[in-house]
Amino acid sequence: MNLANRINSIPAYFKILLGFIKNMNLANRINSIPAYFKILLGFIITLSIAFILGVQDLYVHGMLIGSLFALGAIGITLLYAIVNFAHVAHGDFMTLGAFLAFPLVASVVDVEYVSYADDFAFTGLFPALGLDQVGLGPFTFGFTILLAIPISMFILAIIAIGLEKFVYRKLRLRGSSDVMIAMASFGVAILLRGAISTIFGTQLRSYDRISKPFLKIGWGIDVPPDLLFLGIVAVTLCLLTHYILQYTKIGKSMRATSDNPDLAMVTGININKVIMNTWIIAAGLAACAGILIAVGSAQMVPQMGWKLLIPIFAAVVLGGVGNAYGAFIGALIIGVAMEVSTEYMNPAYKLGVAFTIMLLVLTIKPRGLFGGKD
Amino acid sequence: MNNSNKILEVNNVFSGYGEIEILHGVSIDVYENEIITIIGPNGCGKSTLMKTIFGLLRPTSGSIEFMINNNMTPIHNYDTENLIKIGLSYVPQSDNVFPSLSIRENLEMGAFIKQEGMEESIESMYELFPILKDKKDDPANQLSGGQRQMLAFARAMMLKPKLIILDEPSAGLAPNLVTSVFDTIKTIHEAGVSILMVEQNAKAALERSNRGYVLATGENKATDTGNKLLNNKEIASLYLGGK
Amino acid sequence: MDSILSIFNYLSTYIVIAGIYAIFSLGLNIHWGFTGIFNIGISAFFALGAYTAAILTSASPSPEMFEDFIWGGNLPESLGFFNLGIDLWYFVGMFGAIIVCGISAAIIGWITLRLRDDYFAIATLGLAETVRFIFLNEKWLANGSRGMYRIPKFLGEWFPPAYYNYFYGIFILLLIFILYKIVQKAINSPWGRVLKAIREDEIATSASGKNVFLFKLQSFILGACIMGIGGVVYTHGIRYLDPLTFDPLMATFIIWAMLMVGGSGNNKGAIIGAFIVWAIWTWTDFLPGFLSDPNLKFLMIGLLITLVILFKPEGIIGEKKVKLSSKDIDKELEPTE
């Protein structure tokens, strides 16, 4: 066949169009759009879709709940980035954070462990000091919970440092594989959960609270004021983490270690110190996440953290393992997907939705939306 | 050939990985303001020597001494932080920048252990390598191979070391970049540092060196000025690709 | 006389349950002990095996007994025409359970085994929770939270109920022996040596031309099938299933403790570990006060796993390891037996 003829027979305008499309270099242009702009665009598009489908209420709920997940997800992803293992005990860190606050703020703290002999209960620390207000402003909780957050973060950070010193560092020095270290964190997870249920029992608990009406924002969006507030606290902490990572010596040394641990070592960065700092940040965020989730869902049980592992790891994988910003966005997406799904299917399958998203990401784009470690 | 002071003395060092000994008694001297190149076939222990000098491997016997306050002091028990403090600096063979950190942050990492005077150091690096200033807020993974090497050297220069150890600075670079890397080395040398490097690209390196050492099977084979080594027929045929 | 009988009864029950756990422990040993894949969702295969067998063998649901599920395979009835005097349905149900476990392991493994080991772990955890939620919420499938009862006994008509556990205990011990022989044979075959090589050094094994992913997938499927068998044996032994049975503590964590205590990488260790840990678990019931608190046992399981990893990673009977003498990765490890 006469190829030249055929090419000549293509209308001129079509060739011009083709050339134009080539010149546009679409793939490159899409790649050159800054990430934050893409995220903003994604947010606007999905929110509009949510309005069209009439699920804007669930969408906003999902965003707020997702921001609570983000606190956990950022910790896991930072540990991945620096210590390079899956911290399976992170969910139980969150549970522990929530339960550490309990004896501080509850007006009645009954302790299962001793109640075998006879009923044993005491007044929580803050109520004993006369600080036992609940129903602060439009919220169900009192300001004491805000005092409890930093205390719980601090205690959990100390526990994390202890575990790093006496478990994980020992295994690393022995040359154990990453899976072995993940396995050890699995043992720690069971240990922590066992300790919590031994001391507090396994029944459903919650901090002292009184019911409050939902906040009507308009456009069919009603949110519990608690959730709005908790979301703001969570986002503030994420911003603080962002500040630490970008602008402080601690954060820069963390990012450098994550990038290239060998080079970090020859520039005089003390890797052990970096790992400690990572544990402190991850544990602090986890403690806060635990308390916020316990307040937001008005309940806490020892197994809550283990179940939270699934959405949180899904967020980590979705955002790209080791990428703190990816984890934040990933958590928001997972939160929204889980909440919106309840409109269309049995709410009991929320976790299944997160799990399915994780499997899809692992199949299609194992490095996540924003790129991460292999 | 030089009356200046000795700053590094490696004396009969044995070293290796675990039970595998790679260096069987290597001795090297570096004087102030010298460029020294170590050449030798693959597996002769060049990189091992560099790592041993920089404390990443511990010698099993022998001594490594460095000039601290005009005194030669044994340094083979120093940790990395102390080695950097006394004026040593090390640029690994590959992966020698932090890819996701900005160029400025990479330079900051060079001054991680001592932050005073950091701003001036960064400015002087920008002066030395203006291209780094132009891209100072870009992540290092957007640099070309030659520019990365520039950044790696600049990072190592941040604390004004007396001696920079380079592990195969031209490895993995396109041939046309090799010259520019050696020009960069010249630039940092002129800024007043001694340089100790190992190189596969022996000819280009020796041409620019004051002296060279030939290493084979973990031992010293020869040492001389760079040009004499280049003109030594036996060494040329053995280690310089027969030319 | 009565007290001796009650001790025997107690022992037979102990053997039945510890034996069931030993089967799971053997399956887990293939995953973790021999291949180094980190499965924290054992309960998924436990549940899939148990429910498959229960659904296939239970009689059709009767609404007056509050049974909401819509289909019971009723294999004992429908296979009646074979009537060879042996309960063939038991093995057909077991076969069905193996197929279901194998297929779900293949799907999850196919997606996640190519990736980092820890992604895989989280995927197994997700699978376990998802499976549990499905059986909890899909009442038509397995009666939801009310659970399945009226599950037939294997060879139930041959033995009087009071002595049934004696038979079932012996049957389980026999089954463990058969499975042990099978796993032992598999592990000492060239195939098994590749698995161990993967566990020791995945990159080197892959460099020596082995398709690491396929070997891991096969290992994952084999282990999952054995766990499925454990589920079947559980179903017909306990004869009651509900989603609470598959709580991670009793269906995953404790099995890990058994394997770690016994010695991962050694099949005998896996079996002995199950008997030891179950003995500790049940016999602490006799301790006074809070010492018999199940939550305290929970804590102990976690402590046990952590301490074993830290101080005795080889367990009670570890794997016999031979020093690296050859560069051939296939021969890196001598056979365990």
- Reported ipTM: the value is 0.87
- pLDDT of residue A158 exceeding 80, the answer is yes
Mean pLDDT for all residues in chain C: 86
Tokens read off for C223 = 């282990």
Q: What is the CATH number of the domain that holds B211?
A: 3.40.50.300
Residue C286 lies in a domain: no
How does DSSP assign C11-28, residue by residue? HHHHHHHHHHHHHHHHHH
Phi, psi of B16 (to 5 degrees): 175, -170
Chosen from A246, A266, A272, A325 to mutate, greatest number of chain B CBs within 10 A? A266
The answer to whether residue B184 scores a pLDDT higher than 50 is: yes
B187 confidence band (pLDDT: 50, 70, 90): confident
What's the domain range around C28? 2-242
The answer to whether C133 contacts A352, with C-beta atoms less than 8 Å apart, is: yes
Q: Does a structural domain hold residue C282?
A: no
**Residue B176: which domain range?**
6-93+158-239
Which pair of tokens denotes residue C302? 């976690």
Chain C CB contacts of A184 under 8 Å are 306, 309-310
Domain contains C316: no
Q: Is the pLDDT of residue A31 over 80?
A: no
Q: Do chains C and A touch (3 or more CB pairs under 8 A)?
A: yes
At C334, the pLDDT band (50, 70, 90 cuts) reads very low
Q: What is the pLDDT of residues A58-96, one digit of tens each?
A: 999 999 999 999 999 999 999 998 988 889 999 999 999
In this prediction, residue B80 carries a pLDDT of 84
Lowest mean pLDDT among A194-198, A253-257, B21-25, B223-227: B223-227
Task: Evaluate whether residue C135 is within a structural domain.
Answer: yes
What's residue A36's pLDDT? 79
- The 10s digit of each residue's pLDDT in C122-145 is 899 999 999 999 999 988 888 888
Contact criterion met (CB < 8 Å) for C295 and A167: no
Provide the residue ranges of all domains of chain A, joining segments of one domain with +. 3-364
What are the residues whose beta carbons fall under 8 Å from the beta carbon of C275, sequence distance 6 or more? C18, C22
The answer as to whether C272 is a domain residue is: no
Q: Give the pTM.
A: 0.87
Total domains in chain C come to 1
Q: What is the pLDDT of residue B119?
A: 86
Nearest by CB to A117, which of C125, C249, C289? C289
Please tell me the predicted confidence (pLDDT) of residue C203.
Answer: 86
CA C36 to each of CA A343, C113, C129, C201: distance values in angstroms, whole numbers, following the listed order:
41, 11, 22, 10
Q: Quickly tell me which residue has 């006469």 as its tokens.
A: A2
What is the per-residue pLDDT across A252-267, written as a single tens digit (0 to 9) for each? 999 999 888 889 988 8
pLDDT of residue C255 exceeding 50, the answer is yes
Report the SS3 class of residue C60. coil
Asked if A288 and A153 count as a contact pair (C-beta separation under 8 A), the reply is yes
Alpha-carbon gap, residue C246 to C234, rounded angstroms: 12
Most confident of A216-225, B1-10, C54-63, C281-290: C54-63
pLDDT at C294 over 50: yes
pLDDT mean over B196-216: 84
Are residues C121 and C26 in contact, defined by beta-carbon separation less than 8 angstroms? no
- B217 — alpha (psi -120 to 50), left (phi > 0) or beta? left
DSSP assignment of A220-272: TEEE-HHHHHHHHHHHHHHHHHHHHHHHSHHHHHHHHHHH-HHHHHHTT--HH
Between B115 and A100, name the one with better pLDDT. Answer: A100
Tell me whether residue B3 is exposed, middle or buried, using C-beta atoms within 10 angstroms of its C-beta: 0 to 12, 13 to 18, 19 or more.
exposed
Tell which CATH architecture fits domain A3-364: Orthogonal Bundle (1.10)
Please report, rounded to a whole number, the percentage of residues in chain B having pLDDT higher than 70.
Answer: 95
Locate the chain C residue with the closest alpha carbon to A86: C118
- pLDDT value at residue A374: 56
In this prediction, residue C323 has a pLDDT band, given cuts at 50, 70 and 90, of: very low
Chains that touch B (3 or more CB pairs under 8 A): A
Structure tokens at C153: 């006994």
Overall average pLDDT of the C243-261 stretch:
91
Question: For C182-195, what is the mean pLDDT?
Answer: 92
The mean of the pLDDT values for chain A is 86
Q: Taking CB atoms and an 8 Å limit, are A252 and B101 in contact across chains?
A: yes
Euclidean distance between CA atoms B127 and B133, whole angstroms: 8
At B211, list the tokens.
Answer: 């002296």
Query: Burial code of C81-118, b = ≥16 C-beta within 10 A, e = fewer?
Result: eeeeeebebbebbbbbbbebbbebbbebbebbbbbbbb
The reported pLDDT for the residue numbered C322 is 44
Task: Examine residue B197 and state whether it is found in any structural domain, yes or no.
Answer: yes
Q: How much is the average pLDDT of A20-32?
A: 63
How many domains in chain B? 1
B147 belongs to a structural domain: no
pLDDT at C58 over 60: yes
A116 close to A247: Cβ distance less than 8 angstroms = no
Per-residue pLDDT at C235 exceeds 80: yes
For the segment A307-324, the average pLDDT, to the nearest whole number, is 91
How do B71-74 and B61-68 pair as beta strands?
A: antiparallel
Report residue C111's pLDDT band, with 50, 70 and 90 as the boundaries.
confident
Q: Flag whether C101 is in a domain.
A: yes
CB C37 within 8 A of CB A182: no
Give the model's confidence band at A315: pLDDT under 50 very low, under 70 low, under 90 confident, else very high.
very high
Spatial separation of the C-alpha atoms in residues B242 and C27, rounded to whole Å: 61
Query: Beta-strand (E) ranges in chain A?
Result: 109-110, 121-122, 215-218, 221-223
